[in-house]
């Protein structure tokens, strides 16, 4: 199976030219590379980035209703109509801004309805978080969701951040797998770079959610290349 590397650009870069140039460099550098890559820019750049054969476009969040009087929100259907294929939910940075697991669960269901692939981040309380997400999902849809083990302390912008060890990731995957069908993809997230990606793939990750390292085109391209098992 091809690895899946998801770039979470967070609230970067600050202008659309830099966003366009970064995406262009990544698409060019990954031509013919046997990895699937998803670029998740801020909403305002989503429409200007074009997918290629192995580089898809995603978003970093969306609402749980498809249309209506919800000031400031963006719906899954709008993202789908713009050519998005993936959307990230439950990120610890959103949780700090008030997103609850119940909200993540509703967003996950709405994204599936709009035929987007939900990328759901799971932190320290693996079983509890996963059970509340899975509660509202039809069994046939569970394997459409991509789960990411992303402990908050591993995110590069946290004070004293350190990546999880491959062993820690493996233990988390084991817990996650016990609640999921075998065909579900599991990713690792938290301070991943081109040097440590291999260890996570060997520990059972199908790929990674990448923050800081996704803003440097050459580093990100190398990371995607190094995720391919030989």
Q: What residues are annotated to the active site?
A: 91, 150
Residue 210 interacts with ligand PGA (CB under 6 A): yes or no: yes
Q: How many residues bind ligand PGA (CB under 6 A)?
A: 13
Nearer Cβ to ligand PGA, position 27 or 154?
154
Report, in Å, the least distance between residue 161 CB and ligand PGA.
7
Residue pair 188/200 in contact by the 8 Å Cβ criterion:
yes
- Which range, of 27-35, 71-79, 174-182, 185-193, touches ligand PGA by CB under 6 A? 185-193
**Binder of ligand PGA out of 130, 197, 212, 221 (CB under 6 A):** 212
Q: Which residue has the tokens 């590069």?
A: 156
Apex CA 154: angle with CA 151 and CA 160, to 5°? 130
Q: Which residue has the tokens 């013919």?
A: 32
CA distance linking residue 4 with residue 186, whole number of Å: 10
Nearer Cβ to ligand PGA, position 36 or 150?
150
x/- site string to ligand PGA, residues 135 to 164, per CB under 6 A?
---------------x----xx--------
Residue pair 46/29 in contact by the 8 Å Cβ criterion:
no
CA distance linking residue 33 with residue 199, whole number of Å: 20
Residue 110 interacts with ligand PGA (CB under 6 A): yes or no: no
Residue 114, Cβ neighbours under 10 Å: how many?
17
Q: What residue is closest to ligand PGA based on CB?
A: 211
- Which range, of 53-61, 69-77, 96-104, 210-218, touches ligand PGA by CB under 6 A? 210-218
Residues that bind ligand PGA (CB under 6 A): 8, 150, 155-156, 189-192, 209-213
């Amino acid at each position: 199976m091809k690895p899946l590397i998801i770039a979470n650009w967070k609230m970067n870069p600050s202008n659309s030219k830099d966003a366009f140039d970064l995406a262009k460099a990544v698409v060019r550098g990954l031509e013919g590379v046997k990895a699937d890559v998803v670029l998740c820019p801020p909403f305002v750049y989503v429409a200007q980035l074009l997918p290629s054969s192995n580089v898809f476009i995603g978003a970093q969040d969306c609402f749980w209703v498809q249309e209506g009087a919800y000031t400031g929100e963006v719906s899954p259907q709008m993202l789908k109509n713009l050519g998005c294929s993936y959307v990230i939910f439950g990120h610890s940075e959103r949780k700090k801004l008030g997103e609850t697991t119940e909200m993540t669960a509703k967003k996950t269901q709405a994204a599936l309805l709009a035929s987007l692939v939900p990328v759901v981040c799971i932190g320290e309380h693996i079983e509890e978080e996963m059970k509340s997400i899975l509660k509202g999902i039809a069994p046939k849809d569970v394997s459409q969701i991509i789960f990411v083990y992303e402990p908050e302390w591993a995110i590069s912008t946290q004070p004293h951040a350190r990546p999880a060890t491959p062993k820690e990731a493996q233990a988390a995957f084991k817990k996650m797998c016990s609640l999921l069908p075998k065909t579900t993809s599991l990713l690792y997230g938290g301070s991943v770079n081109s040097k440590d990606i291999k260890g996570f793939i060997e520990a059972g990750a199908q790929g990674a959610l990448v923050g800081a390292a996704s803003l440097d085109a050459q580093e990100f391209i190398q990371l995607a290349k190094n995720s391919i098992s030989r």
